Every structure is written in structure tokens, then in C-alpha cells.
Structure 1
Amino acid sequence: MSAKAILRRAALARRQALPATEVARRSALLSEQLFRHFPVAEWRWLHVFLPLAKRNEPDTWLVIRRIWAEAPAVRLAGPVVQPDGASLKHYELTPDTPLHENRWGIPEPLATAAEISPAVLSAVLVPLLAVDEVGHRVGYGGGFYDRFLAQCGPNTQFIGLCILDEAPLASIADVQPTDVPLHACLTPSQVWHF
């Protein structure tokens, strides 16, 4: 088993053990960290993953609703897994955007919304299970986000959200040349810049 697979399995178990009340508490802290430490209101486009609640992912709806309420000039985009099972497209997310659940139970905007090019994004909130001291992350292992982040513009900020309140690992042993490092990672109690 690869180093990433071992880290993934352990982090998933720790995250799954969190009660719903703790996931909600930590999600609120992550949202506060984002708005306190980043110029959210200055961004033109923010890409936000929609949470898979049954896997205790951070509740990004807290960020989404706050932007709609407090920073309406910031436009939001959400990912949609494509039929090839290997790539993402991105669609505008508004309060009126219809959603449906994909085969993994992840909410996605319907493709009837406006498609958004990765090149226009100011920042991307990236799901993760673990991160190391230079910003390499352990995700679910499908490579979706590495392929997506490689398509973004040179000034796009990649910001990981980790509901586990843990410091970055010293290193991840099996980083691949196609892995795209993060610029920052938020945990409920810390902001890490790489």
C-alpha cells in the first residue's frame, strides 16, 4: 500500500469518528479562518467544492451563504464530475442554481448553469485529508483536483480545507510530478501558508 493510501485510510477514519456537532463546529471555524485571513471580498471568482456530508467533509455551505449575503460581487463556481470519471467541469453557483447528487452522493450544479473556465478563478477551496509542509495534499486518490488545478491561471490561490485540526506532515513520501501543491491550508485553529 502506498504512503498516500495509508495516510488516506487513517485520516478518513479519524474524520469519520467526528460527531455531527463537531463537524458543524469545525466547519464554522474554517469559514471564519477563510474570511479573517484572506481577501475574499476582493476575489472575482471563488471555486467551492460542495460537501459530502456522510463523509464528514467541511460544510462549505457556510462559506457560500456568507458570500451571497456579504460579498455579492464575488461569483461562485462549483465542480461537476464528468462522464469520463476522470475530469471536472465547473459551473456558476447562485442561490437559484439547481443541484443534483452525483453517483457518490455529492451535490453538483446542473450543467444548465454557465460553465466557468478554470483560468478565470481567483481562488479554489480544495478538499483534502492531509497536507505536508510544502503544500502537497492527500485527497481521495482520483487526481480530479490535481488535473483541475493545473488548468487554473498563474495567480489563482489554492486553499485547502481540512476539518482535522492537525499540523502539516513533514512530507508525503510518494508525491507525483502531476501533484499540484497548495498555497495555503486552513484547519479549525490554524492557517498554514506554503
Structure 2
Amino acid sequence: MVKAELRRQMLARRRALAKSELEDRSNRLSEHLFREFAITKWRWLHVFLPAVGQHEPDTWKIISRIWAEKLRLQIAVPVVQPDGKTLRHYHLTPTTQLAESHWHIPEPQGATEVAPAAFDAVLVPLLAFDKAGHRVGYGKGFYDRFLQECRPDALRIGLSLEPPVERISDAWEGDMPLHACLTPEQVYWFEE
């Protein structure tokens, strides 16, 4: 399947999810992350914050658990820059003030910037992924550019509300493939 068609289909499927189903799937994604990954060994985790009203995975469940369990893991979140092409990343703490962007994404205010080289793992937003670890995002290339700035050993972990498709036919060499992808049912691992 091609990215444009997958993007259209998956956005429609997301919009059709009941709030209770989205919450259940988000809870299961969080459980997989804590069970399958050695997160206590990480120093920095990059997490996207869900856009309000877009039926994205609720990453606040992951963030809240990290804070509740008082893990030494630091969290950073992205902010789209005025150029509309790049991301910068800021430290998120329980006391960080947030304001909603014009994309309806919560963004930290007055937080410390964190360099991409600091991240041990990045939770990657997506609409669809295939069995080879290629993903379909929203089509702006923010994460492909950002992931190229991260250390080669930083884990790229997708969060998907749906299982994989067989193959994304128009994946190209500039796409940064995932190392793993969490779905509500299981974790998929991909070869480098």
C-alpha cells in the first residue's frame, strides 16, 4: 500500500475509535513499553505529546507512570519550530507549564532545551507501519529529520494503535525505519 492511502485509511479508523477504546489501547501500549524494554537503564526518553482531539496514543500514561515510579529517567518532548520543518526538544517535568500550539499539541513553556544526541530512546508517532519497520506519519518529515540527528544506538520505538500492514510500497531511503513498534496486542521488533 502507498503512504497516502494508508494515511487516509488510518486517520479514518482513528477518528472512529470510541474514547474508551483509545484509552484501553493506550494503556496496553504503556504496559508493553514497561514490560519489554529496559527503561530503567535509559537516562533520556523522547516522548511526543498527543494532539488534542486527534485520537493519538495517550503518551501521558507513560509519562505519569515514569513520574509516579520516581524513575531516574528524564523526559523530553518536541516543539515544532517557526520554520515549519524542524523540531526542538525540551525537558518535561511535573512542574513544566504547557500551552497548546496551533496544531493543538501541548508544548512546554520556559523549559530547558535537550540535544538529540542525549536520547537513549525515542517514542515515534505514526499512523501505520509495515512488517519491515517502515512507518507512515503525517507527511511532514519532522521525525525522519530529527531521528537522523539522534545517536545511532538510540532506540526508535513506534507507538501504533493498529497492527502492521504487510508492506508500505513507497518507503524510500530517507525514511528512518523503526527498531521496534508497540501495538496494543504485541511488540514488533525489526532488524537493522
- Name the TM-score class by shorter chain: over 0.9
In structure 1, the residue matched to 2:130 is: 132
Return the offset for 1:40.
1.1
In structure 1, the residue matched to 2:159 is: 161
Distance 1:39 1:109 in 2: 27
Distance 2:165 2:59 in 1: 24
Distance 2:166 2:54 in 1: 26
In structure 2, the residue matched to 1:113 is: 111
Percent identical: 58
Residues 130 and 137 in structure 1, CA contact (< 8 A), matched pair in contact too: yes
2:50 maps to 1:51: yes
- The answer for unaligned runs of 5 or more in structure 2 is none
Return the offset for 1:55.
1.0
1:1-194, aligned counterparts within 5 Å?
Answer: 3-110=2-109, 112-164=110-162, 166=163, 168-194=164-190
Distance 1:150 1:186 in 2: 21
Q: TM-score, normalised by structure 2?
A: 0.96
Distance 2:141 2:173 in 1: 12
Report Cα offsets for 1:28-86 as digits up to 9, x if no partner: 01000100000111110000000113110000000001001114310000000000001
Higher deviation after alignment, 71-80 or 139-148: 71-80
Aligned to 2:149, what secondary structure does the other structure show?
coil
Amino acid at match of 1:183: H
Distance 2:30 2:161 in 1: 11
Residues 146 and 179 in structure 1, CA contact (< 8 A), matched pair in contact too: yes
Distance 2:154 2:65 in 1: 21
Distance 1:31 1:5 in 2: 28
Aligned to 1:53, what secondary structure does the other structure show?
coil
Q: Which 4+ residue blocks in structure 1 deviate beyond 6 angstroms? A: none
Amino acid at match of 1:49: F
Report Cα offsets for 1:3-26 as digits up to 9, x if no partner: 211110001101110000100111
The change in CA–CA distance for 1:71 and 1:43 in structure 2 (over 3 A counts) is: farther
Report the RMSD for the aligned CA atoms in angstroms.
1.1
Q: TM-score, normalised by structure 1?
A: 0.95
Residues 53 and 59 in structure 1, CA contact (< 8 A), matched pair in contact too: no
- The answer for unaligned runs of 5 or more in structure 1 is none
Distance 1:132 1:189 in 2: 15
Residues 41 and 71 in structure 1, CA contact (< 8 A), matched pair in contact too: no
Return the offset for 1:134.
1.4
Number of aligned residue pairs: give it.
190
